[in-house]
Amino acid sequence: QQPVQSPQAVILREGEDAVINCSSSKALYSVHWYRQKHGEAPVFLMILLKGGEQKGHDKISASFNEKKQQSSLYLTASQLSYSGTYFCGTATGGGNKLTFGTGTQLKVEL
């Protein structure tokens, strides 16, 4: 069963913050975040393993709440380059068998 992402779409002004959520009905081993620009391949952002960790680089970070089977992606001080569709992929075990959400379309405007 696919994880559920919210919101489905969001429009930001440059410099604003956004949060994208990913929820699963299954017990998760890991959550993977990707960004895809129109007509391009998805690009890996980060992976979070069970244990409730938080990760981040630059102005993009993420958390994983193992009890709620939920992950959130935080984008702060958004830039035009952040525009794209963000996908979470979830795994219930080790290895690389991922189930992806349907994506969140993010558009950053001047």
Partner 1 sequence: NAGVTQTPKFQVLKTGQSMTLQCAQDMNHEYMSWYRQDPGMGLRLIHYSVGAGITDQGEVPNGYNVSRSTTEDFPLRLLSAAPSQTSVYFCASRGRHTDTQYFGPGTRLTVL
First to last CA, the chain: 37
- For residue 87 the two structure tokens come to 């996908």
Q: Is 46 in the site for partner 1 (CB under 8 A)?
A: yes
Pick the stretch among 17-25, 42-50, 57-65, 72-80 that binds partner 1 (CB under 8 A).
42-50
Pick the stretch among 20-28, 57-65, 73-81, 100-108 that binds partner 1 (CB under 8 A).
100-108
* Beta pairing class for 70-75 and 84-91: unpaired
Q: Is 95 in the site for partner 1 (CB under 8 A)?
A: yes
Contacting partner 1 (CB under 8 A), which of 71, 89, 90, 106?
Answer: 89
**How many residues sit in the footprint of partner 1 (CB under 8 A)?**
20
Helices (H) and strands (E) in the chain, counts: 0, 11
Contacting partner 1 (CB under 8 A), which of 71, 87, 106, 108?
Answer: 87
89 with 100: CB under 8 angstroms? Answer: yes
